[in-house]
Structure 1
Amino acid sequence: MIVAFSVAPTQTPNAEAEMADAVTEAVRVVRASGLPNETNAMFTLIEGEWDEVMAVIKRATDAVAAVSPRVSLVIKADIRPGHSGQITQKVESVESRLAQNGQEDK
């Protein structure tokens, strides 16, 4: 499965700095998991089996909860048993089609 999730504190005394620090700790948890992952401006993607992915999301959420009594968590999942490597394959499929149609970025 691939899960896109976003976790952030909703209450911090110094909002911008502490929010960035808390999100950094959440991303650190994801990267330390060893599961395929990527982070962009809005979400962190992680790929693996249900139990391992959800355990990482819980640990990342706990890292944010360490600095905020209230936490926002958004999760979107693509559950496709028997498939792996989809975190990159989906993007490669689109990029390949764009290149075939002459639509690649220049």
Structure 2
Amino acid sequence: MIVAFSVTPLGIGEDVGEAVAAAVKVVRASGLPSRTDAMFTSIEGDWDEVMPVVRAAIDAVKAYSNRVSTVIKIDDRAGVTGGLTAKVESVERHLAALDGR
């Protein structure tokens, strides 16, 4: 499964970078495949691997604020691994083919 999530502390002002970095640090320390962009962090593994990491990332942000907003999107597809990179590679192949037309 791939879980894309964002965790935002509320009530600490506009600069939430330090709190978000604490969450990303937890994800990276998990050793699971992950990717962070401007809006979400995505992590790949099975349910029992991924969800404790998401919870720990939320807890890391709670150290900065007693109120946290979390958005989670899950792609749970049995038997698929490497989806985090395979999906992007597929789009890049299609873009290259479109550029060649």
Q: TM-score, normalised by structure 1?
A: 0.90
The number of residue pairs the alignment matches comes to: 100
Gaps of 5+ in 1: none
User: Structure 2: any 5+ residue segments left out of the alignment?
Assistant: none
Match of 2:49 in 1: 52
- Alpha-carbon distance in structure 1 between the residues aligned to 2:24 and 2:68: 15
> TM-score, structure 2 length as denominator?
0.94
Superposition RMSD on alpha carbons, in Å? 1.1
User: Which aligned segments of 4 or more residues in structure 1 are displaced greater than 2 angstroms?
Assistant: none
Question: Does 2:7 correspond to 1:10?
Answer: no
- Aligned partner (choices 63, 68, 76) of residue 65 of structure 2: 68
CA distance in 2, matches of 1:67, 1:92: 36
Q: How does 1:1-106 map to 2 (within 5 A)?
A: 1-12=1-12, 15-17=13-15, 19-102=16-99
Of all paired residues, the percent bearing the same amino acid is 60
Letter paired with 1:41: A
CA separation in 2, counterparts of 1:94 and 1:60? 29
